Amino acid sequence: MIKIVFLFILYSKIMNNIKTSFSIKDLENLTGIKAHTIRIWEKRYNLLEPERTDTNIRTYSLENLQKLLNVSYLNANGYKISKIATLKKEDVPSIVREIASRDNFESHAVNSFKIAMLNFDTVLFYKVYSGLSNQKSFRTIFYEVFLPLLSEIGILWQTSTITPAHEHFITTLIRQKILINIELAQQEHLNSSKKAFVLYLPENEIHELGLMFIHYELILKGHHSIFLGPSVPLDNLKEITTYYDDVTFISYFTIKPEKDHLQDYLKDFKDQIIALGTYRFWILGKMLEHLEQKKVPKGISMFNSIKNLVKEL
């Protein structure tokens, strides 16, 4: 049986700088439940017990957030709110655990990781991950749990629900898991390909988790993968062409190059790298939303997801 510590655990010892008070907008961002619905559940079923500021604004505790995440999970699994409201407080997490252990529990694992992030709780992160890894491969965990989690984290950061410190905390832990699995893959899979893949991020781009996972996938498939990491100038890539005749460069554009410079960057890549020989450039990431396929130079391919890129390997 999967042993996961779920959201109902409330720690008695937490760091002084942990966010323990949330606005209703925070709850909406963290749970996906509209503020209007939260107010209805609160008023009609007494599901939450908010406090109020001196100016009569609702504030919610970490325990309220945990309860709402559990309620949302039960509701998504067929429980009516009217039924959930009649359950004893201590029964809710037990039912959540039972459902999650026998069915699809990815969404609940994502919520557990969010709580670990909010609490800067390394122990909870590792316990949740351990439970997942007992039943699922690392590839499955990344696609079904980490990718949705990272997508939500991006939105939470943009809406100021979390701070950069929260984002750095959770992404560092995920990075550690990717690195561990890269090392295991390198030990088990020999390089059997004559082609080389070079993975890098453009200058001032530091979001490397997606690229690191592609590196992992390449190694699993027996390809020769060279990971250069973040913030690599184009001039540095020319050095690679002196060693390999057949290279596919792969990059992930999350925030760089900026949209006004994307087209120029691709043109420079074509002129400085692709023109030198049998070289290709595969790109993916959020910034590609600002590119038109018909304007992308020959030799450069765009992908809308890691999975679609991996299919081409």
Is residue 251 domain-shared with residue 289, that is, in the same domain?
yes
Is residue 85 domain-shared with residue 104, that is, in the same domain?
yes
Is residue 171 domain-shared with residue 229, that is, in the same domain?
no
Is residue 163 domain-shared with residue 212, that is, in the same domain?
no
Residue that has been written with the tokens 């950069």 in this structure: 164
Number of domains comprising the chain: 2
Is residue 216 domain-shared with residue 300, that is, in the same domain?
yes
Instruction: Using the 3D structure, point to which of 157, 180, 203 is the last residue of a domain.
Output: 180
What's the rounded Cα separation, in Å, for the pair 7 and 142? Answer: 20
What's the rounded Cα separation, in Å, for the pair 296 and 279? Answer: 15
Is residue 31 domain-shared with residue 172, that is, in the same domain?
yes
Is residue 47 domain-shared with residue 171, that is, in the same domain?
yes
> Where does the pLDDT of residue 200 fall: very low under 50, low under 70, confident under 90, or very high at 90 and above?
very high
Output the pLDDT for position 74: 85
Output the pLDDT for position 14: 32
Is residue 147 domain-shared with residue 293, that is, in the same domain?
no
Output the pLDDT for position 142: 96
Is residue 145 domain-shared with residue 267, that is, in the same domain?
no
Output the pLDDT for position 308: 94
> Where does the pLDDT of residue 280 fall: very low under 50, low under 70, confident under 90, or very high at 90 and above?
very high
> Where does the pLDDT of residue 37 fall: very low under 50, low under 70, confident under 90, or very high at 90 and above?
very high
3-class DSSP assignment, residue 59: strand
Q: What is the chain's alpha carbon radius of gyration, rounded to the nearest angstrom? A: 23
Residue 51 lies in a domain: yes
Instruction: Return the exposure string of 10-34: e unless at least 16 CB atoms fall within 10 Å of the residue's CB, then b.
Output: eeeeeeeeebeebbbebbbbbbebe
Instruction: Using the 3D structure, point to which of 180, 208, 232 is the last residue of a domain.
Output: 180
> Where does the pLDDT of residue 201 fall: very low under 50, low under 70, confident under 90, or very high at 90 and above?
very high
- Residues 55-102 have pLDDT tens digits of 888 888 878 887 888 888 788 888 899 999 899 888 887 787 677 655
Q: What is the CATH number of the domain that holds 249?
A: 3.40.50.280
Is residue 161 domain-shared with residue 204, that is, in the same domain?
no
Is residue 153 domain-shared with residue 299, that is, in the same domain?
no
Output the pLDDT for position 158: 61
Residue 12 lies in a domain: no
Residue that has been written with the tokens 């490397």 in this structure: 208
Across the range 100-119, mean pLDDT stands at 75
Omega prior to 50 cis, within 30 of 0: no
- Which of 187-201, 233-247, 268-282 is least confident? 187-201
> Where does the pLDDT of residue 278 fall: very low under 50, low under 70, confident under 90, or very high at 90 and above?
confident
Residue 165 has phi, psi (to 5 degrees) of -60, -40
Q: What is the CATH number of the domain that holds 132?
A: 1.10.1660.10
Which domain, by its residues, includes 283? 190-311
Output the pLDDT for position 1: 32
Is residue 87 domain-shared with residue 36, that is, in the same domain?
yes
DSSP code string of the chain: ------TT---S---TTS--EE-HHHHHHHH---HHHHHHHHHHH-----EE-TT--EEEEHHHHHHHHHHHHHHHTT--HHHHHHS-TTHHHHHHHHHHHHS--HHHHHHHHHHHHHTT-HHHHHHHHHHHHTTS-HHHHIIIIIHHHHHHHHHHHHTTSS-HHHHHHHHHHHHHHHHHHHHHHHHH-----SSEEEEE--TT----HHHHHHHHHHHHTT-EEEEEESS--HHHHHHHHTT-SEEEEEEE-SS-S-GGGHHHHHHHHHHHTGGGSEEEEEEESGGGGG--GGGSPTTEEEESSHHHHHHT-
Instruction: Using the 3D structure, point to which of 180, 203, 226 is the last residue of a domain.
Output: 180
More confident residue, 158 or 16: 158
Residue 293 lies in a domain: yes
Residue among 197, 236, 231, 193 nearest 214 (CA): 197
Which segment, 101-110, 191-200, 288-297, is predicted with the most confidence on average?
Answer: 288-297
Residue 2 lies in a domain: no
- Mean pLDDT, the chain, rounded, equals 85
Residue 131 lies in a domain: yes
Output the pLDDT for position 7: 34
